Structure 1
């Protein structure tokens, strides 16, 4: 880009004196700009016409003239950035800001938050790490899952913690509970404008069924067929009253069979790179259209722990706004997350049931969560797994000694690293050496050392309908077959199969509560702490309400026009 080259050469010239006026020659400036004297004269003429600087030359070869800078490189970058953004060219704008991460974050701050761009409302969100590819079958990150729910649609979806219709307008179940019919809305379209064919949805659901997670989530599904051009028929091996919930899961969101970047959600993906992710509303959406035309994630990585990586940060407190607005930001929504970080104990010969219960008791009594060196207000100690699912009082077992050595494996977020070291100190006081093993991932998928762990710490996201989320956790997470004996794990799966046959939702909730209460009583699992979710925004951004994922529904956010019509 010619503008970028001119700006970089100007920055080299400016850097020599840090913008101070100076006596210099064309030859010296050519050396600093790495170009010929002839080209420098051309640049000086252009820069002077653009009022970047003032150059008063002296006649005679090699004579020194007076150079005064009228702009700084940062001011010019900001102005050029504004021009590109106003023209609706964020990709070109990013090419103008080839700066170090901390400089980039500072430069971009004035352009964050709610903006009007070409008479279209745009929300720009500064984000701390690059996002993974938005592919529903392989998403672990909270931000990626939130984006996927806006880009793709499923037969059903969650809204305000309720299960509602999406691509299907309703569904019915046969009397024997082994056949389900999902009736599709007419005139559905992909983001490209292509009409959605029911056979495409059938094909994509078959793909989910054949995937590793999908085969576990939809284990009760025997076949998926077309009952009609606008009706999908699910035949089940056994009754499963969670089926509509399962089809609203992230892994059951449906991309286009030939182009996995295309979906049928309220926003289409228009740009995806390590520095910018942009989604735009489209006219083919089958439900209520969003109020915000464009959502942009501007990736501005910050300094991070080289061992834990950039993704170790856990942005549960999101601030949307420009630098000059930060003093005006107000918390528009906050909540205690239902999701939690947990400790699990492997049920094996290395650690007896009595020793596991003693360990749980020590952690519970020591209250080490309150001692973690973390930002105040970020987390809160876990007192229950879900509201009403209280922790048991594990026996002290004072006469029982802990093993001389134990292995703790844990993954992100970074708060678990602080927890691991506190736990190491606690067990050392009881003559138990705790070896720490950090896994730089967001889940235990494809982690080869899980079976060798005595203790395990991880993060359990909980979104909509928390009871169903925990049921899926038991089915999908490799944690459970790794820490439970084979017979106990088989019994757990049998128990889940019995619970899913219950027609009334409260009965299924009670069954799951009993299952988890038993796992906690047996010192298999305990929640350690929950996060305090918070979203802050400047006065000009409206319609932001925190959801159970710690984000807000993009379809409801809006910004008032810059000039109110009287």
Structure 2
């Protein structure tokens, strides 16, 4: 990198135009010592290095007053593009983009680099003898925080866990029912306080060991005792392996929702043998039972290889390679292939009219949660209501350029385009006056992905005299909400629901959920009582009504300000089939298949 920067410094210093022929200039060593801020001896070392890389020719001046001659061997555009490509091939994508963005006058080079990088993604066919492997390479702008099911916080991490691991059961949102997965059958006693799960035979972890009831019991005890997602098994008293194929769970109270809870990615089954032996080594390259196994995981890349003996049927793809790109790349520099997993609503650059657009409404929403365990103007109900009435959701949607609908609940209900929300600046000003607000600033914490929305909200609040201080956190810190919630007046985040009831409960009960962290004690105790009724009810309609009670109180107290339900759009190349957006907002790699012969991608 240093050699490249020095060559660019020389090009800039001597204003060398972008021409194809070598360019000669006269040079004094004294000029170069000033340019590189080093001694004449070090300048000579730099020159030698540039010569070794065939970037320059150097003819030293002989005698006093004779200047040296420097010939630039590589023109500017070719050098910049080649160097960025070499960085990318080594996996140093962040460094490549940072290097090119430093050369602001060379926008054509950046465009050429993006075009080249686009061609590195998509379908790659690897031929060995008579066999041919289909590898799908995709750019990702968010590396996973964890692959430990018990520590899941983000939707992308949960999506990857579902490619590598399996649960006892899985939820079919289209049919509204729980279906078998590792467990082929389950039953319960009359009170729903004892549940028995019967396991399939022949389900094997990627390292070869057959899954047994001991692995299930180990997984659930670990989830119950050691994790931020212990709320999933809050009613569990004990779990036992009755025999190698039978697991029995005894509860402290009736829980008719248990099978739905066990559909969560957090309840994915992990191997007791490897985790008990060396947990640190295991999580570097974890072994599950899923349709793909993890073969490589580094800061730059993750490789998934197909599990050829997967018990629910082999995936078509032979492998998936996820390349981690820096998340601060400007939107104008992003790649067309990210549309397959990036949830971006814009048409990819240079995408032809034959690309298929797939659109779905995200289950979940963006929201602000107020920290009522901290002193400040937000302790006033009138203040919180004033902010709620001041936020123009339709304007915020237009400002971000990302299509969606105003939200009045966690989950879109009915036709979202008919959703009613109130934007009333006059009423907001009146409520603000009633609150006794003195003009203190409020501090809202959010992630960089919410930048457009929070900037819109800051402008809206400023128009009625509320200054908003914004703190941006990276995804690691945002996942540790407990560490930042005490100091924040509010947190702006986006929730994505894979399973309606389960994810709604997760947002309310998970230890690191900002909603859970920010509730006052009295509200939290009331909510826990309602949740117990939810779990004890065999009626889906009654459970829905009880959850709506919680939601209505959050609305009435303006504890949570619901903002927007987003539309998720992806654009798919015509050679790729089987692409659909799952409830986590991503595509399941197992369902993808490719046409043959493959069109050029």
Which category describes the TM-score, using the shorter chain as reference length?
A: 0.7 to 0.9
Deviation at 1:474, TM superposition (A): 1.1
Among candidates 517, 530, 533, match of residue 498 of structure 1? 533
Deviation at 1:176, TM superposition (A): 2.2
Unaligned runs of 5+ in 2: 25-43, 56-69, 101-109, 275-281, 331-338
* Secondary structure of residue in 2 paired with 1:187: coil
**What residue in structure 2 maps to residue 128 of structure 1?**
141
Partner deviation per Cα, 1:290-320 (whole Å, 9 max, x = no partner): 1222111122226459xxxxxxx99421889
* Secondary structure of residue in 1 paired with 2:571: strand
Q: Any residues of structure 2 matched to 1:65-214 within 5 Å, and which?
A: 94=91, 99-100=96-97, 105-118=114-127, 119-160=132-173, 162-214=177-229
Indicate how the Cα distance of structure 1 residues 358 and 540 shifts in structure 2: closer, same or farther if over 3 A, else same: same
**What residue in structure 2 maps to residue 85 of structure 1?**
none
Q: Any residues of structure 2 matched to 1:103-502 within 5 Å, and which?
A: 105-118=114-127, 119-160=132-173, 162-257=177-272, 258=274, 259-260=282-283, 261-301=286-326, 303=328, 315-317=342-344, 326-328=351-353, 330-347=355-372, 355-357=380-382, 359-360=384-385, 363-364=388-389, 366-367=391-392, 369-371=394-396, 374-388=399-413, 396=427, 398=431, 400-405=434-439, 408-414=442-448, 416-441=450-475, 443=478, 445-463=480-498, 465-477=499-511, 478-502=513-537
d(CA) in 2 for partners of 1:472 and 1:337? 17
**What residue in structure 2 maps to residue 20 of structure 1?**
20
Indicate how the Cα distance of structure 1 residues 289 and 318 shifts in structure 2: closer, same or farther if over 3 A, else same: farther
Partner deviation per Cα, 1:402-444 (whole Å, 9 max, x = no partner): 5224564544443644443443444444444444444434746
Taking structure 1 as the reference length, the TM-score comes to 0.77
Deviation at 1:274, TM superposition (A): 1.8
Deviation at 1:158, TM superposition (A): 3.2
Indicate how the Cα distance of structure 1 residues 35 and 411 shifts in structure 2: closer, same or farther if over 3 A, else same: closer
d(CA) in 1 for partners of 2:598 and 2:412? 46
Indicate how the Cα distance of structure 1 residues 270 and 329 shifts in structure 2: closer, same or farther if over 3 A, else same: farther
Indicate how the Cα distance of structure 1 residues 449 and 406 shifts in structure 2: closer, same or farther if over 3 A, else same: farther
Contact 2:409–2:551, Cα closer than 8 Å, also in 1: no
Contact 1:392–1:521, Cα closer than 8 Å, also in 2: no
Indicate how the Cα distance of structure 1 residues 114 and 77 shifts in structure 2: closer, same or farther if over 3 A, else same: farther
Contact 2:377–2:440, Cα closer than 8 Å, also in 1: no
- The structure carrying a bigger helix percent of its residues is 2
d(CA) in 2 for partners of 1:36 and 1:519? 65
Deviation at 1:328, TM superposition (A): 4.5
Partner deviation per Cα, 1:486-507 (whole Å, 9 max, x = no partner): 2321121111011111112222
Between stretches 365-374 and 172-181, larger displacement belongs to: 365-374
Indicate how the Cα distance of structure 1 residues 296 and 406 shifts in structure 2: closer, same or farther if over 3 A, else same: farther
d(CA) in 1 for partners of 2:203 and 2:117? 38
Deviation at 1:141, TM superposition (A): 2.8
Contact 1:402–1:431, Cα closer than 8 Å, also in 2: no
Contact 2:442–2:466, Cα closer than 8 Å, also in 1: no
Deviation at 1:240, TM superposition (A): 1.0
d(CA) in 2 for partners of 1:72 and 1:456? 46
Unaligned runs of 5+ in 1: 25-29, 45-52, 54-63, 82-90, 306-312
Deviation at 1:357, TM superposition (A): 4.8
Deviation at 1:470, TM superposition (A): 0.5
How many residues were matched structurally?
521
Indicate how the Cα distance of structure 1 residues 316 and 198 shifts in structure 2: closer, same or farther if over 3 A, else same: same
Contact 1:271–1:277, Cα closer than 8 Å, also in 2: yes
Indicate how the Cα distance of structure 1 residues 192 and 420 shifts in structure 2: closer, same or farther if over 3 A, else same: same
Taking structure 2 as the reference length, the TM-score comes to 0.73
Is 1:560 paired with 2:595?
yes
Between stretches 94-103 and 230-239, larger displacement belongs to: 94-103
Deviation at 1:535, TM superposition (A): 1.1
Between stretches 466-475 and 338-347, larger displacement belongs to: 338-347
Contact 1:372–1:418, Cα closer than 8 Å, also in 2: no
Partner deviation per Cα, 1:152-206 (whole Å, 9 max, x = no partner): 1121223455532221112111112111011111011011222223212321221
Partner deviation per Cα, 1:313-353 (whole Å, 9 max, x = no partner): 994218898x7x62346343112212211122344795799
d(CA) in 1 for partners of 2:85 and 2:383? 63
d(CA) in 2 for partners of 1:92 and 1:247? 41
Contact 1:409–1:438, Cα closer than 8 Å, also in 2: no
**What residue in structure 2 maps to residue 57 of structure 1?**
none
d(CA) in 2 for partners of 1:97 and 1:448? 28
d(CA) in 1 for partners of 2:92 and 2:503? 41
**Two-structure CA RMSD over aligned residues (Å):** 4.6
Contact 1:172–1:181, Cα closer than 8 Å, also in 2: yes
Partner deviation per Cα, 1:30-61 (whole Å, 9 max, x = no partner): 98884799xx7xx99xxxxxxxx9xxxxxxxx
Indicate how the Cα distance of structure 1 residues 459 and 78 shifts in structure 2: closer, same or farther if over 3 A, else same: closer
